[in-house]
C-alpha cells in the first residue's frame, strides 16, 4: 500500500536536545496503535531551520507546520489530523502580534522569504538515506561533471558563477580551484573545513546534519576539476550528530560506488576520510587545521605560501568551507548563469545565516546575498522580543564586528576587491586587510547575534576577547600578549575602574594586534573592540567618565534603590527583599517603605528578582 | 549494495518520484477521503485502503491522497472528493471498493467524471 502522508520530524541537534526523538517515538507508537503505519510514513530529518520553536514537524502533502511539540500531544494530533483530516490549530505557529495561527509552512514569513540553494533538501529528506538524496536529483551534478565536462569546464563554470568562499574570507572559489589545478606537486588534496568555531554559528552543523551528501557530491566534482584523489572532511568534535551523519553518508556513497575507485565507471578515483577536531578554535584557520590533520598541534603559520601551493603534507591543497562545497552541485546542475541571477553584482548566490540572540524567530535562514539587515531581522526574524529596541547585531563571531542600527538598510555583501584596495591604499596596508567600514567586511561566516537595549557593548567586547584570548595558540607575541592586555583593560572598565588612558591604550593595542599577528585569529580578535569603539564609543565613555553602564549589565556600576511610593502603595512594605538580601543591606518595617544601604549593597540584583511589585530601581 | 551504474541513478530517481511529489505537494490529482466520525463509522477506513491500493497497483506518481473531516452530508458516507488540477472538485458518495476502482479507471486515469457515482461538481459557496 502506498503512503498517503509523510510526517517529517526534525532531528537536528536543537530539536533533539529538546526531546524531538521522544515526540518521534510517540508518533511511531500512535501510528501503530491506530493502524496507520502503512499509510503514513514517519521521516526523521535534519535541521528544519526554525530552531526557536522546536520540536517541530511538517506534514506533507498538506504542508502544515507544527511547533513546540511534546510527546503527550501526539495522540490527539494523530487522531485529529492524520485520521480525520482536521489540522490542530493550537499546535500551529502564531507570528508575533498576529491574530491567528498560520498553518502552512510556505505562508510563514520566516520560511517564505528564504531562498534555499545550499539547504535545498533540509527537512525534506532523511539525511541517513542516500536514496532520498538521489530522489531529489542528488548526484546528477556528479554524473554531469564526470561524464560531460572536462576539468577546465568545471572550473570555468564555478568561476563564472562567482561563488565566493563562505567561511568568511569571500575569496573567489573558482580562482582557488584553478590555482590548485595548476600547482606543482602530487598528490593533491581537498579539505572540507567543518570546524565552525564561532559562538552562535551553526550553519555548517546544519548542513552536515540535514544534507551530508551535498558536501560529498561537491567534493567529488572538485576532485575531478583539480585532479585530486583524496579528501579530508574536518569536523569539530563538539558536533557528534554531524560526525555521525557524515560518516553514514560516506559509507553509503562508498557502497554505491559514488566514492572510491572508478566512480560510476568513469575512471575517477576519489575517497574521503573524516578527521575530528580536538577543541581548538584556532583549527578553523586553514594552516592550523592542516597542521591538526597532520597530527601536530594546531599551530598556524605565515602565508604565503597559501595551501593551494603548499598545504596538507606540503602538497597543493584546496580547502573550502562546508557551505562552499554544498554550493557546487546546484551550480553544475543549473548552470553558472542561473546562479548569477541570485544575489548582487559582486556577491552572487545565497548565504546561510544563523539568527540568534534577542530575536523572535531564532533559527537558520538562507537568503540571497544583498538582503538588508532590516529584512533579515524584522521580516524574517520577526523583530525583537518584548518590544525592545534594536541596538546592534554581532556578526561573524569573534572575528566579526558589532553593526549598529545605522547600517540597517545596507545590503549584506562581501567587500569587493576595489573597496578593499581603496582602504588598503589609504592606510598603506595589505589588500586582505578588513576595513570594518562596510557591513560586508564584518559579515564573516554567517553567525548573527542580535542585541537589544539591554546589552552592554563593552561587555560584549569583553566576552569575545575572553574567548579569543583563551583560544590564542600563543605562537606570536602580538596575539598572545595583546589579547590578554585588551581583556584586562576591558575587565577593568566593566568593573568600574577604567580610565581614559586605558581607553587610548586599548585602541592602540587593538590596531597593533590587528596589523602584526601571525594568523587570522589574532588579526581579527580586535574586531569586536574596534567596531564597538567606532560605533558605541559613548558606552565606553559612560563606563569610564560617568561610572555607569547604560544597559545595567555591568553590576559594579549599578546603583540599586527602592522607590518608596511603589514599595508602600503596591507592596505594603512586604519585606521580601530584606529577607533575601545576602548582605543584609535592606532596612524597613512592614507597611513602611524599605530602603537599601548603598555602602552595604553587594550589587547582586537579588532584590530586583524577588520583588513582585517592581519597586527596586536599577540606575 | 552493488555499485551503481548511471542507469541505476536515473531509475532510483524515477522510483522515488512519488515521495518527492508528495513532499512538495505537487500532485496532478488530489483524492480527499472524508473521515469525520460519520465517514469512519460508515467504513471510510476501508475506502482509504482501497484508494491507496489503487495508487500502488497502478504505480501512480502524481496522485495525492489526504483526509478531511465531515463534508456535511453524513447520510451518503463514505464519501471522497476528487480534485484534478485545473478542474472543479467532484464529490463521490455511497462509496464501495468496487466504485473506487471504477473512479480510478474512469476519472483519475481516464479523465472523465464517473457520473453514476458522483453527487455534485464544484464546492458549496462559503460566503
Task: Name the CATH superfamily housing domain B27-121.
Answer: Glutaredoxin (3.40.30.10)
Inter-chain residue contact B22 with A6, CB threshold 8 Å: yes
SS3 sequence of B30-50: EEEEECCHHHHHCCHHHHHHH
- With a CB-CB cutoff of 8 Å, which residues 215-254 of chain A face chain B? none
Average pLDDT, chain A: 93
Domain with CATH 3.40.50.11540 in chain A: 130-340
Q: Is A267 on the interface with B (CB under 8 A)?
A: no
Q: Given pLDDT bands bounded at 50, 70 and 90, which one contains residue A177?
A: very high
- Among A274-288, A485-499, B25-39, name the one with the lowest average pLDDT: B25-39
Calculate what percentage of chain A has a pLDDT beyond 70.
Answer: 97
Beta carbons of A264 and B56 less than 8 Å apart: no
Q: What is the pTM of this model?
A: 0.89
Compute the average pLDDT of residues A114-121.
95
Confidence class of residue B2 from pLDDT cuts 50, 70 and 90? low
Answer yes or no: do A85 and B23 touch at CB < 8 A: no
Q: Tally the residues of chain B.
A: 127
Return the C-alpha cell found at A266. 568513469
Please check the confidence at residue A418 and state whether its pLDDT lies above 80: no
Can you tell me the mean pLDDT for B76-95?
Answer: 93
Closest CA to B106 of B117, B114, B115: B114
Q: Closest CB to A2: pick one of B24, B45, B55.
A: B55
The pLDDT value given to residue B68: 87
C-alpha cell at A30: 500512535
Band of residue A416 on the pLDDT scale cut at 50, 70, 90: confident
Rounded to whole angstroms, the Cα distance separating A360 from A385 reads 5
Neighbours of A474 (CB within 10 A): 10
Closest of A501, A493, A509 to residue A542, by C-alpha: A493
Contact between chains at A135 and B20 (C-beta distance less than 8 A): yes
How big is the CA angle at B100 (ends B97 and B101), to the nearest 5 degrees? 90
pLDDT of residue A427: 63
Q: Is the pLDDT of residue B126 over 70?
A: no
**What's the topology of domain A130-340?**
Rossmann fold (3.40.50)
- The top-level CATH class assigned to A350-545 is alpha beta
Q: What is the CATH number of domain A559-618?
A: 3.30.70.20
Q: What CATH number is given for A5-112 in this structure?
A: 3.40.30.10
HSE, side-chain direction, 13 A CA sphere, residue A487: 17
CB-closest option in A124, A134, A139 to B23 = A124
Residues of chain A within CATH 3.40.30.10 domain(s) are: 5-112
pLDDT, tens digit, for every residue of A178-192? 999 999 999 999 999
Asked if the Cβ–Cβ distance from A4 to B52 is below 8 Å, we say yes
Query: Is the Cβ–Cβ distance between B121 and B113 less than 8 Å?
Result: yes
Domain ranges of chain B: 27-121
Query: For A119, how many CA atoms within 13 A lie in the half-sphere containing its CB?
Result: 29
Distance of alpha carbon A371 from alpha carbon A408, whole angstroms: 10
Residue found by looking up cell 546592534 in the block: A392
Beta-bridge partners for A193: A234, A321
Distance CA A366, CA B82 (A): 37
Residue A608 neighbours by CB under 8 Å, 6+ apart:
A560, A616, A618
With CB atoms and an 8 Å threshold, state whether A84 touches B36: yes
User: Under a CB-based contact definition with an 8 Å cutoff, are residues B12 and B66 in contact?
Assistant: no
Numbered residues of chain B with Cβ closer than 8 Å to any chain A Cβ: 1, 3-6, 9, 12-13, 15-20, 22-25, 27, 30, 32, 34-37, 40, 45, 48-49, 51-53, 55-56, 64-69
Cβ neighbours of A270 (radius 10 Å): 22
Amino acid at each position: 500500500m502506498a503512503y498517503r502522508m509523510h510526517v517529517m520530524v526534525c532531528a537536528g541537534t536543537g530539536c533533539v536536545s529538546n526531546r524531538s526523538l521522544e515526540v518521534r517515538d510517540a508518533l511511531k507508537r500512535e501510528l501503530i496503535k491506530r493502524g496507520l503505519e502503512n499509510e503514513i510514513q514517519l521521516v526523521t530529518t535534519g535541521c528544519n531551520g526554525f530552531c526557536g520553536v522546536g520540536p517541530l514537524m511538517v506534514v506533507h502533502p498538506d504542508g502544515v507546520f507544527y511547533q513546540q511539540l511534546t510527546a503527550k500531544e501526539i495522540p490527539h494530533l494523530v487522531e485529529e489530523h492524520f485520521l480525520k483530516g482536521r489540522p490542530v490549530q493550537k499546535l500551529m505557529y502564531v507570528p508575533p502580534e498576529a491574530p491567528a495561527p498560520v498553518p502552512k509552512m510556505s505562508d510563514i514569513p520566516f520560511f517564505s522569504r528564504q531562498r534555499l540553494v545550499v539547504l535545498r533538501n533540509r527537512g525534506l529528506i532523511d539525511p541517513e538515506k542516500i536514496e532520498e538524496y538521489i530522489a531529489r536529483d542528488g548526484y546528477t551534478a556528479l554524473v554531469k561533471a564526470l561524464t560531460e565536462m572536462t576539468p577546465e569546464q568545471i572550473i570555468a563554470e564555478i568561476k563564472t558563477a562567482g561563488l565566493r568562499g563562505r567561511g568568511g574570507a569571500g575569496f573567489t572559489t573558482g580562482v582557488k580551484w584553478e590555482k590548485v589545478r595548476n600547482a606543482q606537486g602530487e598528490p593533491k588534496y581537498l579539505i572540507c573545513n567543518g570546524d565552525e568555531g564561532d559562538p552562535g554559528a551553526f550553519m555548517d552543523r546544519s548542513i552536515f546534519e540535514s544534507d551530508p551528501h551535498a558536501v560529498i557530491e561537491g567534493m567529488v566534482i572538485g576532485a575531478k576539476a583539480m585532479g585530486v584523489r583524496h579528501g579530508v572532511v574536518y569536523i569539530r568534535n563538539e558536533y557528534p550528530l554531524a560526525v555521525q551523519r557524515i560518516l553514514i553518508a560516506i559509507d553509503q556513497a562508498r557502497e554505491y560506488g559514488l566514492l572510491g575507485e572508478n566512480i560510476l565507471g568513469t575512471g575517477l578515483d576519489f575517497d574521503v576520510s573524516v578527521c575530528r577536531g580536538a577543541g581548538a578554535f584556532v583549527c578553523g584557520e586553514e594552516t592550523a587545521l592542516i597542521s591538526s590533520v597532520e597530527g601536530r598541534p594546531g599551530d598556524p603559520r605565515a602565508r604565503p605560501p597559501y595551501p593551494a601551493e603548499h598545504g596538507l603534507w606540503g602538497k597543493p591543497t584546496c580547502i573550502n568551507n562546508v557551505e562552499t562545497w554544498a554550493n557546487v552541485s546546484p551550480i553544475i546542475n543549473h548552470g553558472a548563469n542561473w546562479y548569477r541571477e541570485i544575489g548582487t553584482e559582486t556577491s552572487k548566490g545565497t548565504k546561510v545565516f544563523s539568527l540568534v540572540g534577542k530575536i523572535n524567530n531564532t533559527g537558520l535562514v538562507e537568503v540571497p546575498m544583498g538582503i538588508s539587515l532590516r529584512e533579515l531581522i524584522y521580516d524574517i526574524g520577526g523583530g525583537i522580543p518584548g518590544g525592545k529596541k534594536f541596538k546592534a547585531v554581532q556578526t561573524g563571531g569573534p572575528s566579526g564586528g558589532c553593526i549598529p542600527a545605522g547600517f540597517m538598510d545596507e545590503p549584506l555583501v562581501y567587500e569587493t576587491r576595489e573597496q578593499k584596495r581603496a582602504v588598503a591604499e589609504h592606510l598603506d596596508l595589505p589588500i586582505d586587510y578588513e576595513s570594518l567600514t562596510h557591513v560586508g567586511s564584518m559579515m564573516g561566516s554567517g553567525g548573527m547575534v542580535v542585541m537589544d537595549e539591554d546589552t552592554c557593548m563593552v561587555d560584549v567586547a569583553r566576552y569575545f576577547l575572553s574567548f579569543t584570548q583563551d583560544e590564542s595558540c600563543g605562537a606570536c607575541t602580538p596575539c598572545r600578549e595583546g589579547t590578554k592586555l585588551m581583556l584586562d583593560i576591558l575587565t577593568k572598565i566593566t568593573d568600574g575602574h577604567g580610565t581614559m588612558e586605558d581607553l587610548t591604550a586599548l585602541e592602540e593595542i587593538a590596531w597593533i594586534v590587528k596589523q602584526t599577528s601571525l594568523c587570522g585569529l589574532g588579526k581579527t580578535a580586535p574586531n569586536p573592540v574596534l567596531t564597538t569603539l567606532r560605533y558605541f564609543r559613548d558606552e565606553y565613555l559612560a563606563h569610564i567618565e560617568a561610572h555607569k553602564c547604560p544597559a545595567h549589565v555591568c553590576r559594579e556600576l549599578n546603583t540599586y534603590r527602592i522607590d518608596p511610593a511603589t514599595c508602600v502603595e503596591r507592596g505594603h512594605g512586604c519585606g521580601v527583599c530584606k529577607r533575601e538580601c545576602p548582605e543584609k543591606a535592606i532596612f524597613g518595617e512592614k507597611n513602611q517603605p524599605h530602603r537599601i544601604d548603598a555602602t552595604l549593597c553587594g550589587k547582586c540584583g537579588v532584590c530586583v528578582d524577588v520583588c513582585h511589585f517592581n519597586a527596586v530601581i536599577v540606575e | 549494495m552493488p555499485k551503481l551504474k548511471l542507469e541505476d541513478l536515473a531509475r532510483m530517481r524515477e522510483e522515488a518520484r512519488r515521495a518527492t511529489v508528495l513532499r512538495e505537494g505537487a500532485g496532478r490529482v488530489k483524492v480527499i477521503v472524508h473521515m469525520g466520525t460519520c465517514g469512519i463509522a460508515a467504513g471510510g477506513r476501508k475506502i482509504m485502503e482501497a484508494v491507496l491500493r489503487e495508487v500502488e497497483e497502478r504505480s501512480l506518481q502524481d496522485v495525492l491522497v489526504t483526509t478531511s473531516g465531515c463534508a456535511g452530508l453524513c447520510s451518503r458516507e463514505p464519501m471522497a472528493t476528487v480534485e484534478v488540477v485545473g478542474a472543479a472538485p467532484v464529490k463521490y458518495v455511497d462509496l464501495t471498493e468496487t466504485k473506487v476502482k471504477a473512479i480510478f479507471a474512469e476519472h483519475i486515469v481516464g479523465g472523465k467524471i464517473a457520473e453514476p457515482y458522483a453527487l455534485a461538481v464544484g464546492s458549496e459557496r462559503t460566503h
